[in-house]
Amino acid sequence: MIASLNKVEVDYPGRGRALGPVDLALAPGEIVALVGPSGCGKSTALRLLAGLEPPTRGTVTRAAGRGETSVVFQAPTLAPWLSAAANVALPLELAGTPKAQARAQAIDALAKVGLKGAETARPAQLSGGMAMRAALARALVTRPRLLLLDEPFAALDEITRRALADDVLTLAAELAPAVVFVTHNVEEAVYMARRVVVLSAGPGRIAGEAAVEGPVVRPPGFRASAAFRETAERVSRLLAGKVTA
């Protein structure tokens, strides 16, 4: 296991129970999508897995250390005063990598996400899709064993979203981190993950799971395949609460 949630519950003062009890275990290299309605605690689950927040009850185990976990948020969350390359180099520099080496690795990482030539651009000069790619490069530059994505495509248009989804899967296949992909979009969850975990709201609990067949990097036309449609349908029904796990 690279990380797991064991009977975790999270209460927020004044707002009551946000999550739990939830059990979730991640195998190394596994790609899991967490899908659920707004307020079901999926982002909370992600922060627990990242070690950014402690659970109120239950335990979180993490085999991936601090430098081995990366998070991408819904917004690119780049520092506006730093160039794209400096933003990507930041996690390496904070960990003590010499500046020149961090810079070289950052430029490589930017090239991998298709941002060759944008190294000196500031975040304000990047489009939404490009900024998200830079955030992805920053997450991957440390070669994490656990990659946590919190609705990373939510603010993007459909075309950019699909292109980025394929790029994330290609990079995941190459670097093989365990990936947790949080989304409220059923199709996106089924496309991205080999295992879709459905959360119900108020408080967030696991309503069921669905396995998705096929290779990590989805072949063209995968969205039109019968397997994709059937899984999406099953996940939708789990979300609507018509099937119990």
Partner 1 sequence: MKLLAPFLLIALLLAAWEAACRLLAMPVYLLPAPSAIGAALAEGWPLLLASAWNTLSTALVGLALASVLACGLALLVSLNPTVEDAVRPVAVTLQVTPLVAIGPLMTIWAGIEHPQRAVVALAAVAAFFPIFSGALTGLKAVDPDLARLFDLYGARRAQRLWRLRLPSAVPALLEGCKVAAGLAVVGAVVAEFVAGSGGNQGLAWRILEASNRLQTARVFAALAVLAVLGVALHGLLSLTERRVLAWWRGR
Q: Which residues bind partner 1 (CB under 8 A)?
A: 47, 50-52, 66-67, 69-71, 73, 75, 77, 79-81, 83, 90-91, 94-95, 121-125
CB nearer to partner 1: give 91 or 129: 91
Q: Which is nearer to partner 1, 27 or 52 (CB)?
A: 52
Residue with tokens 């990097």: 217
- Beta strand 57-62 pairing with 178-183: unpaired
Q: Find the DSSP H helices in the chain.
A: 42-50, 84-94, 99-112, 128-140, 158-175, 186-192, 226-240
Least distance between partner 1 and beta carbon 238 (Å): 29
Nearer to partner 1, 59 or 125 (CB): 125
Q: At 71, list the tokens.
A: 């998070």
Query: Closest distance between partner 1 and the C-beta of residue 155, in Å?
Result: 13
Closer CB to partner 1, 43 or 231, in the complex: 43
User: Looking at beta carbons only, is 47 or 205 nearer to partner 1?
Assistant: 47
Query: 115: which 2 tokens?
Result: 């941002």
Q: Report in angstroms how near the CB of residue 46 gets to partner 1 at its nearest.
A: 11
Asked, as a colleague might, if the bond just before 91 is cis with ω within 30 of 0, I would say: no
Q: Are 86 and 35 in contact (CB under 8 A)?
A: no
* CB of 91 vs partner 1, minimal distance in Å: 5
Going by the DSSP 8-state scheme, the letter that residue 219 receives in this structure is P
Q: Are 210 and 231 in contact (CB under 8 A)?
A: yes
For residue 150, the minimal CB distance to partner 1 (Å) is 9
